[in-house]
Chain A
Amino acid sequence: MTGLALVLPPFFLLVFFILVPAAEAVLDTLRVERGGQIVYSLVRYAEMLRTISLRRSVVFTILVTLASVGVTFALAYALALYLRFSKGWVSTLLGALFIIPLFIPTVIASFAMVTFLEHHGYVATLLHTIGVEDTPSLVFNATGIVLTEVWASIPFATLVLLAGLQGIDDALIDSARDVGAGALRTFLAVVLPLNTVATVITMSLLFIGILGSFTIPYLVGGNAPQMMSVVMTNYFTNYLRPDISVALAALSFVIAALAGAAYVGGVSHRERGAV
């Protein structure tokens, strides 16, 4: 029982300041006044789903999130493989470099990306000096959001994937090579399956984090379509419709919870001793 007592202070803090307010906010979206009486109804959700801009925002959010997760995952996996299986000063230096974005506040990262990728930004200027006149717009659109999200998420994804790769016994890789497997075959048949748990954890946490991110899409995204978090804030503060804002947030929570379930599943999979 003392074990439980040790857990109680954060437990109450989280229940009181996270679960209760969140449940209250969602319940509020269901309460509607009809003829002087409060009834529960889904009218706000119906209104939300009827609004074209909101529907478009939901689709846009999911697509941008999936694209960001995909690109981050591919790059982070390559980086983690390189750091795991290569020795030397380049590897050591890269090992120190890739951590940097973890320490850069997202407001700063977004600002840096805007100055860097803008229409007349640094990349465009550099390309201009080597004779490329027309640079496509890299920022204030989906491309900008994906690039900045990837930049900001790489350290976290690499850390988790690398931790998973460190747990793979060298002997297994050597034995795969001894029976004649090439690099690709070894990767697909040995490394990838053994690293499933780290993969699930990385992907689900990336998905949740990017889906709910606000600062990057607000600063680097365009005017339309916008990510759900930006639309929520607009509805909340500018359009003075907090009810729609919270309804949208509840929808975003349901989407995130699906990824959360994958995460919890992945972790318990490991606890059962599968890896």
Chain B
Amino acid sequence: MNRSWIMRGAPGRWMLALGFFTVASVVLIIPLIVGVLWSLVDPDAGWFPPAIVPPSLSLANWRAMLAVPEIGQAFAMSFLIAPIVTALCAALALPTGYALGRRQLRARRTIELLVLAPIILPGIVLATGLGSMFIRLGLSHTVAGVVLVQTVVLLPFMIRIVAATFEGVPQDLIDAARNLGASPWPLARDVLIPLVRPGLFAGGLFTFIGSLEEFVLTFIVGMPYVQTLPVLLWAYLGGRSSIFTYAAVVTMVLLVPTIILMFVAERTLKQEYLAAGFGKV
């Protein structure tokens, strides 16, 4: 009870809690519900103010959008690229996270600053520099190019989260395994990797979602042949026109997998590996 020092008296506390809850749900949830409603607007009836909800609902927009082959292709593209990027980031971040988390490195500060670079540099600097380099290397407009550019920008988060997890592994366990004669590879496979699995999972999830969401670099490197869901969404909202109803459908197609991932992640996120990852350079 002494933890509630911040609020005095029961009624005040309830008011504050209720206020917070109302504001949070209005701000967080209702824009998304409005988005769902937009995807279900009946094109014959439309949805005009001052109607609070659309006068009639239909699946016409969904049928229209799902009949367009590009949405299926974009969906497949997004879910082809995301797992590859996640696996690549995990493979690269595991050894680096171990070295940063458990070894005394002389070049540590330099490496940590370098890891921070993709976050500090504005996307356009990366895009212009990488653009000409990718054209020279023949990577522009290819899936490989998009995978590479997404891996580079998402790697820092993965490295930070994995390094923070490695730091939390008790040295006793490593020493015990070594005393029992474990050589480096069994040590990594049977001791270290299982111990950092939660961090790896949190980082992997973050990377996966980051890959699904990544837009600017995918757009610049992949255009016009590699089209992921955000790129397609962009076409419906920013570029050609702003077709709310179609955009809402693409939104839902992209949103459902992320919401499912969110429920999967619930437990991992509570352990605050994500926060720990951000807190380290």
Contacts and interface: CB of A to CB of B under 8 A. Distances in A.
Contacts of A236: 124, 127-128
A150 B112 CA distance: 28
A24 interface: yes
- Measured as residues with beta carbon below 8 angstroms from the partner, the interface class of chain B is 35 or more
Contact of B278 (A14, A79, A90, A160): A160
A10 B128 contact: no
B128 A112 contact: no
A273 B118 CA distance: 28
Interface in B191-244: 209, 212-213, 215-216, 230, 233-234, 237-238, 244
B128 to A, nearest CB: 5
A26 B38 CA distance: 44
Nearest to A181: B5
Interface in A197-222: 197-198, 201, 205, 208-209, 211-212, 214-215, 218-219
A6 B99 contact: yes
A201 B279 contact: yes
- Among A23, A151, A201, A249, max chain B CB count under 10 A is at A249
Contacts, number: 279
Interface stretch (A36-44, A49-57, A62-70, A121-129): A121-129
Contacts of A7: 95-96, 99-100, 105, 107, 111
A99 interface: yes
A254 to B, nearest CB: 10
B251 A108 contact: yes
A104 interface: yes
Given A24-B129, A108-B251, A264 B113 contact: yes
B34 A116 contact: yes
Contacts of A208: 119-120
B262 A103 contact: yes
B275 A93 contact: no
Contact of B115 (A10, A156, A197, A205): A10
Contacts of B234: 107
Nearest to B184: A2
A270 B275 CA distance: 15
A166 B96 CA distance: 28
Given A7-B95, A122-B34, A219 B237 contact: yes
Interface in A214-269: 214-215, 218-219, 228-229, 232-233, 236, 242, 245-246, 249-250, 252-253, 256-257, 260, 263-264, 267
Contacts of A45: none
| Majority secondary structure, A binding face | helix
A249 B125 contact: yes
- Among B93, B120, B133, B237, max chain A CB count under 10 A is at B120
Contact of B122 (A109, A229, A242): A229
B5 A115 contact: no
Interface residues of A, number: 104
Interface stretch (B22-30, B55-63, B68-76, B174-182): B22-30
A170 B6 CA distance: 13
A18 interface: yes
Given A7-B96, A14-B155, A108 B35 contact: yes
Contact of A85 (B6, B107, B123, B130): B6
B8 to A, nearest CB: 7
A218 B122 CA distance: 15
B4 A232 contact: no
Given A97-B28, A198-B279, A267-B279, A104 B255 contact: yes
Contact of A122 (B30, B93, B122): B30
Given A23-B129, A183-B5, 12 more contacts: A9-B92, A13-B151, A21-B126, A88-B17, A98-B28, A103-B262, A111-B247, A111-B251, A113-B31, A162-B275, A249-B128, A260-B116
